[in-house]
Amino acid sequence: MSHILSLAAGTLPEFQPEQVARAAGEAGFSHCGFTIEPEHWDAAALAATKAAIAEHELSVLDVEVVWIPEGGQLTDDHKMIIDAGIELGAANVLVVSSEPDHGRTAEALHKLCSWAEPGKMRVALEFLMITAVQSMDSALDIIRKADHPAAALLIDTIHFQRAGHRAAQLEDVEASLLPYTQICDGNRDCDNSFEAYLEDAIDLRSCPGEGSLPVAEIIGMLPEAIPLSLEIRSKIYRDRFADPADRASAVRTASLAYLEQHKIAVRSTMVR
């Protein structure tokens, strides 16, 4: 079986969803994801994004990011992101948390799942070193406590590495909890500080094969045919490719070459 390859919103962080959709379509992607910023999201943005999705015959893999605040209290802005995902037909919504208490985070996650349920979206909790949920074990504990079938786990290759996990640990994770994954390459190590982790996450990623992370090994331990979302948050790529379609195309080409080299099958799509 083959994997779906999706363009993550983080690869084009300075562009609005409509522009991301057009770049994804022009670069030959069949799927993409969007960052929904409540202050910029309105009926016009929704209509423009839906038009671009339809024009390029795209599917929406995810929307992001719902950031559970310290204290765990959700607001109308959080619900707006969920509602936008439902309107766009997204399969998943990405969630992170600043709340250190697992019980409060689980309560918030359960509420997000109930909001997402009408759209049949999975609510995927991501762990990373710049949030209160910093390990896969912590994320899984919160998902268990949330006790909702929509609750899911998001693996991002760079954050998986930073948490000190090994690919073999994925063997014990239920496949049903992993609706998709984010992949990128990067430096194998990172300084143990918030500033270093932040720079690492938003500027220092690279395409698979351009760094030293065990990307193929991690993919090999994930469920067969899990969708792969290319999150290449890279200052180098932003500087080199100012045009969103050019950047999306470069990321796709480099990633496909790596996946082919490692015999990881991807569903082919034609560049329109």
How far apart CA 149 and CA 110 sit, in angstroms, is: 9
Q: Strand 59-68 vs strand 5-7: parallel, antiparallel, or unpaired? A: unpaired
Token code pair at residue 255: 């990633």
Residue 267's pLDDT band, with cuts at 50, 70 and 90, is: confident
| Counted domains in the chain | 1
The pLDDT of residue 213 is 97
In a domain, 271, yes or no: no
In a domain, 116, yes or no: yes
In a domain, 269, yes or no: no
In a domain, 47, yes or no: yes
Identify the bridge partners of residue 124 per DSSP, sorted by sequence position: 94, 152
- Which residue range is the domain that position 131 belongs to? 5-261
The pLDDT of residue 176 is 97
User: Looking at residues 236-260, what average pLDDT do you find?
Assistant: 98
In a domain, 218, yes or no: yes
DSSP code of 212? Answer: S
In a domain, 197, yes or no: yes
Q: What is the pLDDT of residues 163-185, one digit of tens each?
A: 999 999 999 999 999 999 999 99
**CB-based contact 96:109 (threshold 8 Å):** no
Q: How far is CA 264 from CA 4, 182, 183, 193, 258, in A?
A: 11, 15, 13, 34, 9
The number of residues in the chain equals 272
The pLDDT of residue 224 is 92
| Helix/strand/coil for 259 | helix
Q: What is the pLDDT of residues 43-84, one digit of tens each?
A: 999 999 999 999 999 999 999 999 999 999 999 999 999 999
Residue 271's pLDDT band, with cuts at 50, 70 and 90, is: very low
**CB-based contact 246:22 (threshold 8 Å):** no
In a domain, 142, yes or no: yes
Q: What is the pLDDT of residues 7-39, one digit of tens each?
A: 999 999 999 999 999 999 999 999 999 999 999
pLDDT at 270 over 80: no
Q: Whole-number mean pLDDT of the chain? A: 96
CATH number of 189's domain: 3.20.20.150
User: Looking at residues 218-243, what average pLDDT do you find?
Assistant: 97
In a domain, 193, yes or no: yes
